[in-house]
Amino acid sequence: MVKELQLRYGTNPHQIPAHAISKNDNLPFEVINGDAGYINLLDALNSWQLVSELKKSLNLPAAASFKHVSPAGAAVGVPLSDDLKAAYFVADIDLSPLAVAYARARGADRISSFGDWVALSDVVDEQTAQLLRREVSDGVIAPGFCPEALDILSKKQGGRYCLIKIDDSYKPPEIESRDVFGVIMQQKRNMTVANPDDLRKIANDPGKIPDDAIRDMVVALTALKYTQSNSVCFAVDGQIIGIGAGQQSRIHCTRLAATKADLWRLRQHPDVLGLPFRKNLGRPERDNAIDGYLRDDLSHRELSIWAESFEVTPNRLSLESKADWIGGMKRISMASDAFIPFRDNVDRAAASGVEFIAQPGGSIRDADIVEACNDYGITMILSGFRLFHH
């Protein structure tokens, strides 16, 4: 370990020099392959906290796919269905629980995860390394790498792939600082950690919440803690399926998260799973082709380029077929990093199968939000804590 690390460059290539400096003892991590940039470290240190907290809260291996200091996906190692294996392009390989967690995290929004930073809660095993080897990403942070995984990943990108080993026993100082425009601001770190016991205060239904819904809300709330605010997250089956980050309006967060959740669901449609891709078409190109297949706004030029991805141009899904398939979404959990101010958020969430909502509460319209949830049979949980992240 060292006290100071020279970085490749800052937020942009012209921002040189750039360094990472420990305020106390040595840095709590070691770059064991490649080199890191400023954004790499922001993604690595934020995503590591996310997966570390998920592992502690749920006692399952956890993974995150980070882009631009927000998660594109996060998940724990819940077994995959055959359809999800096909949708995530992992039906052809064996997956350990840690590899499953990353397949889920990457599968939430594969377009956004292109070129991601990866965080893994456990020592990287060979199966996870084999999965990482074939995806386009910038680097990985984890508490360690088994010898086989280190050998595989140190050869990725011609030896430039960034591997960071984090000291998982490290505890940062209680007070954190930020330097903005020559002004240093300090605050107490956000040490609130979502766990199942926090999610028992039901605002509108005295019944018991299913354990899988509690798990999914923990995943969603933990992801929100490390997502640029405002933010809303949809989760199911132990993983994020849609996240709306950095929007100035709560309803725009909800719409964005719901739209991504709808696309996640559509990727599992039988017609999508059976698309006749051209031979040797790479996974990123297949992701782009699926995205084009599901869009309704392609120009004539875009359509002609898109069609080149297939052996035979497929018939496109009708709006009715999409609506029917999305209508099959069930048991979705939604979490909001701050209180829900208007019922339009609930109206949009219900259209994408949301049955459970976790939010801090505290709006003057809380009664209206409860009434909206009652209209749809949605259970609303009051967490009591806000999770803004900037």
- Please give the single-letter amino acid code of residue 289: A
What are the C-alpha distances in Å from 207 to residues 203, 204, 210, 379?
Answer: 11, 9, 9, 9
Q: Which residue has the tokens 């132990």?
A: 238
Count Cβ atoms below 10 Å from residue 327 Cβ, excluding itself.
Answer: 12
Which is the catalytic residue, given 55, 67, 225, 322? Answer: 67
Which is the catalytic residue, given 40, 230, 288, 345? Answer: 230
Rounded distance, CA 156 to CA 158, Å? 5
Helices 250-266 and 283-294 sit at what angle, rounded to 10 degrees? 110
With residue 56 as reference, give the H or E element that holds it: helix 38-58
Choose among 360, 349, 272, 321: nearest CA to 87.
Answer: 272
Helices 300-307 and 283-294 sit at what angle, rounded to 10 degrees? 140
Q: Is 390 a catalytic residue?
A: yes
On whether the CB atoms of residues 96 and 125 are closer than 8 A, the answer is: yes
* Apex 146 CA angle, 141 and 152, nearest 5: 80
On whether the CB atoms of residues 76 and 239 are closer than 8 A, the answer is: yes
Q: Is 230 a catalytic residue?
A: yes
Annotated catalytic sites, by residue?
A: 67-68, 230, 390
